[in-house]
């Protein structure tokens, strides 16, 4: 299957079914050589490989959810399976509506999301308070290091002459 069709099938897979031996996992980040460290629902962590058909089409970042098949790919002491499907937000929403999404991942996502909202509101208020209290502070101005700095002694010598 060509690159175009692989990408289209991956993005349009609305009726995705997980098989018995496959597991949901959250990516903890890439570890190099097409390997990603993932955390399973039970809390265990393993390295899994990215199959060649996904390598240049899908970018798995820290926090993304994937479906892992432990029986595929290179299985060794460190590497324990292969990524079968990368889950996009529409897939996760559909799985939550069907009741198939693990509760462990739902709790972590809602907790981190609400904390980010609280932090952004708090930072916005602090920024507003700083603007009101200190308008004359020039310490936080951007300094361009690519321009020569004119010293004040040169300008004062010009005035004396």
Q: What is the CATH number of the domain that holds 59?
A: 2.40.50.140
Furthest CA-CA distance within the chain: 89
Residue in 13, 11, 85, 89 with CA at minimum distance from that of residue 48: 85
**What is the chain's length?**
161
- Per residue in 49-76, pLDDT (tens digit) is 998 888 888 888 899 999 999 887 776 7
In a domain, 141, yes or no: no
**pLDDT band at residue 29, thresholds of 50, 70 and 90?**
very high
What domain range includes position 28?
3-13+20-105
- Tell if the pTM clears 0.75, that is, is over it: no
- Per residue in 133-148, pLDDT (tens digit) is 555 556 666 777 777 7
In a domain, 58, yes or no: yes
Mean pLDDT for all residues in the chain: 75
CA distances from 71 to 31, 48, 80 (A): 20, 11, 8
């Amino acid at each position: 299957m060509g690159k175009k069709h692989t990408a289209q099938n991956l993005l349009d897979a609305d009726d995705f079914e997980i098989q018995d031996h496959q597991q949901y996992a959250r990516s903890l980040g890439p570890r190099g050589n097409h390997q990603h460290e993932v955390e399973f629902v039970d809390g265990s962590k393993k390295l899994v490989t990215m199959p060649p058909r996904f390598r240049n089409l899908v970018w798995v970042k820290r926090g993304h959810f994937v479906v892992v098949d432990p029986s595929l790919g290179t299985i060794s002491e460190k590497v324990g399976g292969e990524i079968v499907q990368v889950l996009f937000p529409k897939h996760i929403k559909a799985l939550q509506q069907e009741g198939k999404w693990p509760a462990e991942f739902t709790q972590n996502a809602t907790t981190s999301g609400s904390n980010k909202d609280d932090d952004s509101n708090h930072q916005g208020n602090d920024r507003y308070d700083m603007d009101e209290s200190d308008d004359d502070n020039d310490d936080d101005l951007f300094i361009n290091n690519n321009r020569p700095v004119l010293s004040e002694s040169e300008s004062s010598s010009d005035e004396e002459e």
